[in-house]
Structure 1
Amino acid sequence: MTIRAIVRGVGHYLPERVVPNSYFEETLDTTDEWIKTRSGIERRHFAAEDEFTSDLGTKAAQMALEMAGLEADDIDAVIVATSTPDLTFPSAATMIQQKLGMTQGFAFDIQAVCAGFVYALSNANGMIVSGQAKRVLVIGAETFSRILDFTDRGTCVLFGDGAGALILEAQETEGSTSDRGILGTDLNSDGRYRDMLYVDGGMISNQTGFVKMQGNALFRQAVEKLASTADTALVKAGLEHDDVDWIVPHQANIRIIQGTAKKLGVSMDKVVVTVQDHGNTSAASIPLALSVGVERGQIKQGDLVVTEAIGGGLAWGAVVLRW
């Protein structure tokens, strides 16, 4: 028998404040049509002044626990993918652990920007397969609105706030490609591309800083690397493109999503798209899209799902799992 990390429950949370593209027309040289044409984004959510990343992550986690029929103390570990934690330390994960009322286990953050959730899933899978944990709560949560320069139309119109959560549980399986659970992972990074996407803050500048991005250069890297990592993860899983039921990509830009699907030879009918409603929620975008895909009735038990993401670093990767 083989131990697999299967999905037990999913959930998501979006702040109440909805920010349409028209909001930016008041202060920037931009229009709703300009933003939609270049990104596919129509609206996004911004957190309230007293609402932070751990708050968003907690609410997404509560939804996932409810779907799974579990209590907080049924969880062995909490992994939070975020680039916008409440504080420099302690981790947002320990804050969520406390807010959930979880009194045992362990919790930590992973920082790989938009690829963070893929990295977190891969780490959670390793813990489950190795026997270190039976159930892991994996969360992607971001409040990117707090690191945006609202005078830079090239970045501030693209990002939003939100959270998604997924519970992985150890289960004995036959060890075949038809098993439920995570079947293959692939992680990559290359620090030579750091300047394509970064925040000009931190210990170096002693300030929070804002998102800086070389959009055109990043676009070219994204399509190539996302298709390549998805291919590699499928090969590791012993599967092919024709086996895929759904691609759930990082929701950054509709043109990147379309370009990657084309390169993979997968119809857009098999791609879960939420970018129009949420914008780029960084590490939250994949779990948010997974939860919405389940809510819509798109993703069903037994479906083969491929998730792939790329973010600052550059860091990128993919996970193949059977729902």
Structure 2
Amino acid sequence: MQSNPRVESTLVVGSDYLSLFSDPDDAVTYGNFGDAACAVILEKTKENTGFIDASYRTETTEIDGLVFPHTGLSNFLTNPSSTPYIKEVSKPKDTMPETFMLFDDLLFDHGMTMDDIDYIAPSQSVFKNVERIREQYSLNPSQMLYIGDRYGYTAVTSPILALYEGIQSGKVKRGDQVLFYTIGTGHVIIAMLFKY
């Protein structure tokens, strides 16, 4: 949108139906995943708000830590009676040190520190990681837009859903600086600076 003058607005939609693939006998997946769809309309404006920047890090050495379906897709397609469930094969690597470096680099590039951030809309996948971010930067618990205890982990939609709840509750207001953070298995760490 920033590079194309003809695009004035964009509808961005994300959804996941993870409970369909969660094993009822596996507390890690069944107890963690929730289903959700979110839509956001982005439009150009003269206001001093919007997208500031984003950055990511990718690590491909752990691509088999969480497999789906755990019997393999080709096996599942040729043998529909095989189990379609997600399975955690090995414990994931601790990505928080890399996450902190990603945050620090992104903020530094814009002459900012975590003191300039009003709220963080994090991935809702692991509450311990939300707490580690808060502790690393000495943030107030209310600055963390955490809703995973209500909706579970809704994957791609979780940071947007957290922002929505922050807006609906009246916490997040126009002009607030929001740092979005999410992580994908494998792993991909993504951070985005946004002025609401």
Question: Would you say 1:138 and 2:7 are equivalent positions?
Answer: no
SS in structure 1 at match of 2:36 = strand
Partners of 2:58 and 2:123 in 1: CA distance: 16
1:51-81 deviation line (CA, Å, top 9, x unaligned) = xxxxxxxxxxxxxxxxxxxxxxxxxxxxxxx
SS in structure 2 at match of 1:164 = strand
Q: Are the aligned partners of 1:149 and 1:210 in contact in 2 as well (CA < 8 Å)? A: yes
Q: CA deviation at 1:195?
A: 1.9
1:217 to 92, 98, 107: 92
1:282-311 deviation line (CA, Å, top 9, x unaligned) = 011111111111001111000000010101
Would you identify which runs of 4 or more consecutive aligned residues in structure 1 move more than 4 Å?
none
The number of aligned residues is: 189
Alignment of 1:118-157 (within 5 A): 128-131=1-4, 133-157=7-31
What amino acid is the match of 2:20? R
Partners of 1:233 and 1:278 in 2: CA distance: 29
1:184 to 43, 49, 53: 53
Question: Structure 1, unaligned stretches of length 5 or more?
Answer: 1-127, 174-178
CA distance change for structure 1 residues 303 and 313 in 2, over 3 Å: closer, same or farther?
Answer: same
CA distance change for structure 1 residues 297 and 156 in 2, over 3 Å: closer, same or farther?
Answer: same
Question: Structure 2, unaligned stretches of length 5 or more?
Answer: none
2:107 to 234, 241, 244: 234
Superposition CA RMSD, Å: 2.1
1:35-55 deviation line (CA, Å, top 9, x unaligned) = xxxxxxxxxxxxxxxxxxxxx
Q: Are the aligned partners of 2:124 and 2:153 in contact in 1 as well (CA < 8 Å)? A: yes
Alignment of 1:196-275 (within 5 A): 196-199=65-68, 200=70, 201-203=72-74, 205-206=76-77, 209-213=84-88, 216-218=91-93, 220-221=94-95, 223-275=96-148
CA distance change for structure 1 residues 213 and 162 in 2, over 3 Å: closer, same or farther?
Answer: same
| TM score, norm. by length of structure 1 | 0.54
Q: Are the aligned partners of 1:135 and 1:169 in contact in 2 as well (CA < 8 Å)? A: yes
CA distance change for structure 1 residues 148 and 180 in 2, over 3 Å: closer, same or farther?
Answer: same
1:75-128 deviation line (CA, Å, top 9, x unaligned) = xxxxxxxxxxxxxxxxxxxxxxxxxxxxxxxxxxxxxxxxxxxxxxxxxxxxx1
